Amino acid sequence: MIGFDYGTSNCAVGVMEQNSPELLSLGEHGRYISSTLYAPSRDVIVNWLYKNLDAAEQPAFQKQRTRQLQKGQGALRELVLDGYPTELSFGQQALNDYLQEPDEGYYIKSPKSFLGATGLLPQQVELFEDIVAAMMSNVKTLTEATLGRSVTQAVIGRPINFQGLRGEESNRQAINILTNAAKRVGFKEVEFQFEPVAAGFEYEASLTTETRVLVVDIGGGTTDCSMLLMGPQQAALTDRTADLLSHSGERVGGNDFDIAFALKGIMPSFGLDSMLKTGKPIPANSYAQAVSINNIHNQTEFYSAANVRFLEQLIRDAEQPELLTRLLTVQKRRLSYRVVNAAEQSKIALTDHTQLQIDLSDIDKGLTINLDRDGFAKACSRELSAITALMTDAIAQAGCQPDVVFVTGGTAKSPVLNQFLQQQFQHTPIVIGDHFGSVTAGLTRWANKIYGPLKTK
């Protein structure tokens, strides 16, 4: 059995060893594998998945995906004839493959962000199910190689609310995709646990008295807050319903911080906030579409042929056409992920530095941009306000103040966020957990509780 954090930014797996959760090393990726996938063609994902399924699962899958498998076979033949690789890559290697040829192949980051999206067609749901299954298959293979045994039971983390406008309908859609994918690749028993609750379970192991804990889990795709009654007596229970005093959650997370920083920190060098020859400002819509890597509609619009013509006209009308030309380069070479990744890496670097310079000379020769913490804070003011509202809502629902605030998630490493939280809770202790590992550890504890003690060979 495992605790499986299928995260928006990273995936991690834990097992219980001597009554403590231990995060596994997943081959060359280490304890965390980025939630990314690269395929030389989108059409071959289904074929890779079919090839890597257990033989007993293949007939049913072949029947369900006959047309897609046939289309993929055609794409595979073309790749072989053109001398291109046919395998999928995951994690950092997926990003490397994308950056090597961004206008070729199919790259997706954080597919979890899309699972609750409204208006998905059946074939889109199937594609996301296959993408998730391929990623889960890769993680499961790495896990079993590390453990030297098969794994068939998993507790998987989930946000309180997935991205989507239809509330529980969006949540059901996302959970169905995750469940189908997990069972397809060989997890025979699958349970889900709220990610902030799981993070709280890990913190609970350190408590000696009953404590009201506000867990703030700032994940890659969502921020979730839970007010939990925790302590040694509660930890012994298998039904924690009465201890979960409140929940709140929204699609605002690390990815949104990256996108906001890309828009307001990087895109001015691509013409955002510049002027037309008429004296009017350059329309901002294309810039927002360019960096909205978690929005299918926006990305489709940005990469449309109509938008090429629109950007070419803007260049002719702009006071600084050389800046707009950079945006057209992003469009033609499909560099949205490149720009947002630059913002993400800058966000991480600003944890230890107050300012830095990034190099985007691969987009335009000699292009460098100066970024700093103050700019990051200003760029993300709307996201910070959304997190404030979630914390306030969780406290109001619970009808009580927390004794302690426990914060986890990769974005929690940012000094900007730490300062922001200190301002919100000036008289309440704030505990910063393992930025990436708290959720995985809590999921592992819950897996051990509901599936029984782990039996090793």
pLDDT tens sequence across 167-195 = 788 899 999 999 999 999 999 999 999 88
Query: Do residues 310 and 260 both lie within one domain?
Result: yes
| 16 in a structural domain | yes
201 falls within a domain: no
Q: Is the pLDDT of residue 267 over 90?
A: yes
Cα 28 from Cα 61, distance rounded (Å): 30
Tell me: do 326 and 399 sit in the same domain.
no
pTM value is 0.81
Nearest to 204 by CA among 227, 229, 226: 229
Rounded to whole angstroms, the Cα distance separating 396 from 390 reads 10
In whole angstroms, give the CA distance from residue 72 to residue 139: 23
What is the rounded CA–CA span in Å between residue 272 and residue 457? 60
User: In the chain, how many domains are there?
Assistant: 3
Residues 260 and 348 in one domain: yes
Please determine, for residue 314, whether its predicted confidence score (pLDDT) is greater than 90.
yes
In a domain, 75, yes or no: yes
Which residues, 6+ apart, have CB-to-CB distance to 172 below 8 Å? none
Determine the pLDDT at residue 202.
80
Query: What gap in Å lies between CA 381 and CA 385, rounded to an integer?
Result: 6
In tens, the pLDDT along 398-426 reads: 999 999 999 988 777 888 988 888 899 98
* pLDDT for the residue 200: 87
3-state secondary structure of 288: helix
CB 406 within 8 A of CB 213: yes
With bands split at pLDDT 50, 70 and 90, how would you rate the model's confidence at 163? Answer: low
Confidence of residue 166 (pLDDT cuts 50, 70, 90): low
In this model, does residue 164 exceed pLDDT 60? no
Q: Same domain, yes or no, for 110 and 172?
A: yes
Q: Is residue 203 part of a domain?
A: no
Q: Are 165 and 118 in contact (CB under 8 A)?
A: yes
Q: CA-to-CA distance for 341 and 34, rounded, in angstroms?
A: 12
Q: Are residues 244 and 292 part of one domain?
A: no
| pLDDT confidence tier of residue 256, bands split at 50, 70 and 90 | very high
User: Using 50, 70 and 90 to split pLDDT, how confident is the model at 454?
Assistant: very low
Cα angle at 136 between 335 and 117, to 5 degrees? Answer: 55
User: Looking at the structure, do residues 8 and 38 belong to the same domain, yes or no?
Assistant: yes
Summarised one tens digit per residue, pLDDT across range 149-159 is 999 999 999 98
Q: Does residue 214 share a domain with residue 191?
A: no
Boundaries of domain holding 409: 209-253+383-435
If asked whether residues 8 and 24 sit together in one domain, one would say yes
Confidence of residue 457 (pLDDT cuts 50, 70, 90): very low
Average model confidence (pLDDT) for the chain? 91
- Domain membership flag for residue 177: yes
- In this structure, are 248 and 277 located in the same domain? no
* pLDDT value at 453 more than 80: no
In whole angstroms, give the CA distance from residue 442 to residue 240.
14
447 within a domain of the structure (yes/no): no
46 lies in the same domain as 165: yes
Q: Are residues 269 and 344 in the same domain?
A: yes
Say how many C-beta atoms besides its own lie within 10 A of residue 189's C-beta.
14
Q: How much is the pLDDT for 40?
A: 94
Q: Give the CATH number, domain containing residue 232.
A: 3.30.420.40
Confidence of residue 437 (pLDDT cuts 50, 70, 90): confident
* Structural domain contains residue 451: no
Q: Is residue 328 situated within a structural domain? A: yes
Residues 388 and 239 reside in one and the same domain: yes
